[in-house]
Structure 1
Amino acid sequence: MAALPEVATLAIDGVRAEPATITVGRYPLMTFFYLAHRADLPAGSAGARLRDWLLTPAGQAVVAESSYAPLQVAR
């Protein structure tokens, strides 16, 4: 979530749009992004390397720097 001067954030039902409320799912106006991959994705392929990197601390840092909430991995 980026704080941009030209974008106003709104509290909904008293819940403010803040990283803490969005991350835990309390803020009601949000969306999820998913990364899906084939079960037979070859190890070392570009897709596998991207998936694996996104799960590292460095990948998570880029996610956070991009103003997205941290990844939650569903297996």
Structure 2
Amino acid sequence: NSAGKKKKYLKAALYVGDLDPDVTEDMLYKKFRPAGPLRFTRICRDPVTRSPLGYGYVNFRFPADAEWALNTMNFDLI
């Protein structure tokens, strides 16, 4: 039974706002990867036009890495 083997992930996501429309998910990954292992990055987009909405999320594997990034990289330019 695979239901008993599901991995539990702790919440370790950071909101990233005021993004330039030219910022990509790869750019977010490269910026935040030095803080620790990432699960994924996401730029939020309009569902119809697919235009970026100016914000996104960086999902870390470990909450301590997300906290470190928040404390040391807050207000950094991308």
TM-score (norm 1): 0.30
User: Which has a greater percent of strand?
Assistant: 2
Q: Choose 1 or 2 for highest CA Rg.
A: 1
